[in-house]
């Protein structure tokens, strides 16, 4: 996408999610058009440069550090000042406040929607897990939810005033700014209290803080947001006077429904989850499945990501006779092709395999452990940030509190928890995460298949490596590449 155009045509679905549900959503690229976060990344950075993975201020005036008095001496308290020139597209326009950010983080914790990014927040921000667990089972309506949110607090998230937010952590975490840069951490206006998270009503009443606002008129289009100014946003631009979205667009400038050549340099992993609560409860059966499948990856963390290790335990197992299994996979061309190969490998060793494609909603429920009617689950995971990111793989995939299987080794959990408590000490945290990975691989609930870069849509569009290869439809002119510093220095360089 080069130079401004009058009308930008996209081929994509039109069921635009509320930002709280944007993580790993097929339309997350559209969320970036209308939703801003405390921090973000520059889509105009050259892939592979330090600028492409360094978080920058978005709603915030600066990335907090010890140099600007935003980071406390213990590394667990962040003071974040919001820009005074960011507004909701209400009538009249209303300034985005620290309380809107608090409301958005509370909305992320509700029992009505489970984000795939939630493990990052629960394991980092003080009191967020307690707030999530404190919702009573009697909640039924949006009014119930708003009443609970207005009378209960996240201990480590509070507004000092309209433009000042404090975020406190359980332990120092060098990646907390990256966690707060995820699209699901967007602020929520008070109007959202009238709707359950990501309900059809919420989706139809989206408010914008970004360069565009969604308009639903039987279809979906994005028009310039009158409450947005380029001076208030250093990361996004308006590349078209209007953006139209249709799943049937015959001549799209950009096609978000196909998988084009990758442009991100950060690798993710295709993997299987072997459900230990069904026919694959026997460890030896899971080992035999892993051994029977043709695969090129044998570790969970891909090369180029923090904590990657080249070796993994090699073990053999035995399959029970006449085993019949259900293989669930996303209903995408890539996942379907991978599933065909897996079925062939397992049929060749005497298994009966039923392949079951999943819609995006079904895939989300399976990955978040809300649906376990499968024996083998195929999925892909891409890193949500580009430095100090070993936990971005191991926490959601291997920890028993968050993994799709909903169960795991106690030792794996202990090692991951120990690593999270030592994120300010890279030697200790990385060592613990590597040990956790080896234990998880030996258990053979998670089976890595292949490393790959996130696919890009067809058409010329920038990719945000630090958000799992998210296409950036708001990117400005690319900047010159710079030398890539040590990952531990990225957060300091970005300040």
pLDDT at 264 (0 to 100)? 79
Mean pLDDT of 229-238: 94
Q: What does pLDDT average to over the chain?
A: 91
Residue 475 has pLDDT above 90, yes or no: no
Q: State the pLDDT confidence band at 258, using cuts at 50, 70 and 90.
A: confident
Q: Residue 2: which pLDDT band, with cuts at 50, 70 and 90?
A: very low
Q: Which residue has the higher pLDDT, 311 or 431?
A: 431
Whether the predicted pLDDT of 91 surpasses 50: yes
| Per-position DSSP letters for 350-395, written without gaps between them | T-EEEEEEE-HHHHHHHHTTS----SEEEEEE--SSSSS-THHHHH
Residues 232 and 211: beta-carbon distance below 8 Å: no
Helix%, strand%, coil% for the chain, nearest 5: 30, 20, 50
485 pLDDT above the threshold of 60: no
pLDDT for position 207: 98
Is 90 exceeded by the pLDDT of residue 488?
no
Q: What is the pLDDT of residue 476?
A: 67
CATH topology of domain 268-452: Dipeptide-binding Protein; domain 3 (3.10.105)
- pLDDT, average across residues 49-78: 92
pLDDT at 3 over 60: no
- 50-54, 385-389, 459-463, 488-492: lowest mean pLDDT where? 488-492
**Cα–Cα distance, 278 to 274 (Å, whole number):** 9
C-alpha distances in angstroms, 394 versus 84, 126, 188, 324, 379? 38, 21, 29, 29, 14
CB–CB of 369/404 below 8 Å? yes
430: pLDDT strictly greater than 70: yes
Of the pLDDT bands very low, low, confident and very high (cuts 50, 70, 90), residue 458 is confident
Measure the CA–CA gap between 100 and 17, rounded to whole angstroms: 18
State pLDDT tens for residues 285-331: 999 999 999 999 999 999 999 999 987 777 777 887 788 999 999 99
Q: Classify the C-alpha dihedral 60-63-64-66 as positive or negative.
A: negative
Q: Look at residue 260 and tell me whether its pLDDT is greater than 50.
A: yes
Cβ atoms of 15 and 206 within 8 Å: the answer is: no
- What are 266-294's pLDDT values in tens digits? 899 999 999 998 899 999 999 999 999 99
pLDDT digits (tens, 9 = 90+) for 165-196: 999 999 999 999 999 999 999 999 999 999 99
Domain boundaries, the chain: 5-260+458-493, 268-452
Query: What is residue 477's predicted lDDT score, i.e. its pLDDT?
Result: 55
Mean pLDDT throughout 203-222?
96
Residues 6+ positions from 256 with CB-CB distance below 8 Å = 10, 11, 12, 26, 27, 29, 457, 471
Query: How would residue 4 be classed by pLDDT, with cut points 50, 70 and 90?
Result: low
Tell me which architecture the domain covering 5-260+458-493 has in CATH.
3-Layer(aba) Sandwich (3.40)
Question: Residue 372 — very low, low, confident or very high, per pLDDT cuts 50/70/90?
Answer: confident
């Amino acid at each position: 996408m080069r130079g401004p155009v009058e009308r930008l045509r996209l081929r994509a679905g039109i069921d635009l999610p509320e930002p709280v549900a944007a993580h790993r959503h097929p339309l997350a690229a559209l969320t970036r058009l209308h939703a801003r976060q405390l921090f973000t990344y520059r889509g105009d950075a050259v892939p592979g440069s330090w600028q492409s993975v360094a978080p920058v201020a978005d709603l915030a005036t600066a990335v907090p550090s010890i140099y600007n008095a935003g980071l406390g001496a213990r590394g667990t308290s962040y003071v974040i000042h919001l820009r005074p020139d960011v507004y909701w597209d209400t009538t009249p326009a209303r300034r985005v406040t620290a309380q809107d950010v608090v409301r958005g983080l509370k909305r992320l914790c509700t029992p009505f929607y489970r984000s795939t990014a939630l493990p990052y927040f629960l394991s980092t921000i003080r009191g967020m897990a307690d707030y999530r667990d404190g919702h009573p089972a009697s909640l039924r309506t949006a009014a119930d939810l708003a009443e609970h949110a207005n009378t209960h607090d996240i201990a480590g998230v509070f507004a000092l005033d309209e433009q000042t937010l404090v975020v406190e952590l359980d332990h120092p975490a060098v990646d907390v700014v990256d966690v707060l840069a995820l699209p699901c951490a967007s602020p929520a206006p008070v109007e959202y209290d009238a709707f359950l998270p990501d309900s059809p009503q919420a989706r139809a009443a989206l408010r914008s803080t970004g360069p565009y606002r969604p308009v639903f008129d039987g279809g979906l289009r994005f028009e310039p947001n009158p409450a947005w100014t380029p001076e208030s946003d250093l990361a996004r631009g308006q590349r078209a006077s209007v953006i139209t979205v249709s799943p049937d667009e015959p001549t799209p400038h950009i096609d978000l429904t196909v998988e084009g050549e990758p442009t991100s340099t950060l690798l993710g992993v295709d993997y299987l989850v072997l459900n230990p609560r069904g026919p694959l409860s026997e460890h030896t059966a899971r080992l035999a499945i892993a051994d029977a499948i043709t695969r090129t990856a044998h570790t969970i963390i891909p090369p180029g990501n923090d904590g990657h290790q080249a070796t993994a335990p090699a073990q053999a197992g035995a399959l029970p006779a006449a085993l019949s299994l259900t293989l669930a996979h996303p209903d995408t061309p890539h996942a379907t092709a991978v599933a065909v190969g897996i079925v062939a490998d397992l049929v060749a060793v005497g298994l009966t395999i039923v392949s079951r494609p999943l819609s995006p909603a079904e895939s989300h429920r399976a990955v978040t452990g809300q649906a376990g009617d499968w024996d083998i689950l195929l999925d892909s995971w891409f890193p949500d940030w580009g430095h100090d990111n070993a936990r971005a793989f191991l926490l959601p995939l291997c920890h028993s509190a968050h993994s799709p299987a909903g169960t795991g080794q106690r030792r794996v959990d202990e090692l991951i928890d120990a690593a999270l408590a030592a994120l300010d000490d890279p030697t200790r945290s990385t060592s613990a995460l590597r040990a956790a990975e080896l234990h998880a691989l030996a258990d053979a609930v998670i089976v890595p298949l292949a490393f790959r870069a996130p696919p890009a849509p067809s058409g010329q569009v920038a990719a945000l490596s630090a958000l799992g290869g998210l296409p950036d439809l708001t990117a400005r002119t690319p900047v010159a590449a710079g030398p890539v510093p040590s990952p531990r220095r990225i957060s300091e360089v970005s300040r």
